[in-house]
């Protein structure tokens, strides 16, 4: 409940700022034409009205005590969220996205498959590692060898050498 209100308020503030920003940064348009700033400004005005209505609905459908209780529980719930599977999953996802190019496809895929598999409740490590390796090979062969899609080799020297070695096995 608290996050919903926060998101709406942030959207409102962002919309007002963007309305001012786009007006200030775009060249002045001719009087009879729709200029570069007017279309986004029109959308922003509608957006501000819609968010205002949504906020009105929010306060109408939620009791004051409930909102206050949601905000009192906000920081504890943030801590709970940080400890949750979802947050760990989100963190792993971002980490994978950032490391995808530096570590290359082979390493990132293998590590992510094992890590996320454990997060999703896989208990037996050996079958998980084996299935992750098999899927990694299927994806690599399917996309890189058969479809000719470029997969990152990695920037780390020995990982890059290994990727080049794998590519040489498939005659690429």
For binding to other proteins (CB under 8 A), which residues are involved?
3-4, 7-8, 11, 18, 21-22, 25-27, 31-34, 36-37, 39-40, 43-44, 46-47, 50-51, 53-54, 57, 85-86, 89-90, 93-94, 96-98, 100-102, 105, 109, 112-113, 115-122, 128, 131-132, 135-136, 139, 143, 147-152
Smallest separation, CB 3 to other proteins (Å): 7
Using the minimum distance from each CB to other proteins, give the nearer residue, 21 or 162: 21
Transcribe 58-95 into DSSP letters.
HHHHS-HHHHHHHHHTHHHHHHHHHHSHHHHHHHHHHH
Which CB atom, from 70 or from 96, has the smaller least distance to other proteins? 96
In contact, 50 and 15? CB cutoff 8 Å: no
CA 35/CA 19 separation, integer angstroms: 14
Of residues 57 and 161, the one with the C-beta less far from other proteins: 57
CB of 169 to other proteins, least distance (A): 20
CB 9 → other proteins: shortest distance, Å? 12
Considering the complex, state which of residue 53 and residue 71 has its C-beta at the smaller distance from other proteins: 53
Distance between CA atoms of 116 and 91, rounded to whole angstroms? 11
State the Cα–Cα distance between residues 139 and 136, nearest whole angstrom: 5
Write the CB contacts of 150 (distance below 8 Å, at least 6 apart in sequence): 144
């Amino acid at each position: 409940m608290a996050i919903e209100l926060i998101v709406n308020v942030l959207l409102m503030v962002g919309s007002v700022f963007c309305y001012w920003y786009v007006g200030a940064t775009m060249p002045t348009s001719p009087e009879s034409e729709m200029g570069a700033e007017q279309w986004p400004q029109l959308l922003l005005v509608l957006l501000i009205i819609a968010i205002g209505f949504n906020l009105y609905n929010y306060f109408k459908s939620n009791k004051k005590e409930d909102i206050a209780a949601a905000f009192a529980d906000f920081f504890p719930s943030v801590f709970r969220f940080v400890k949750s599977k979802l947050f760990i999953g989100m963190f792993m996802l971002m980490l994978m996205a950032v490391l995808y190019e530096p570590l290359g496809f082979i390493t990132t895929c293998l590590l992510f498959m094992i890590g996320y598999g454990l997060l999703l409740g896989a208990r037996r490590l050996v079958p998980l590692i084996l299935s992750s390796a098999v899927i990694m090979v299927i994806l690599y062969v399917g996309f890189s060898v058969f479809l000719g899609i470029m997969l990152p080799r990695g920037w780390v020297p020995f990982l890059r050498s290994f990727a080049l070695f794998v590519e040489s096995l498939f005659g690429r």
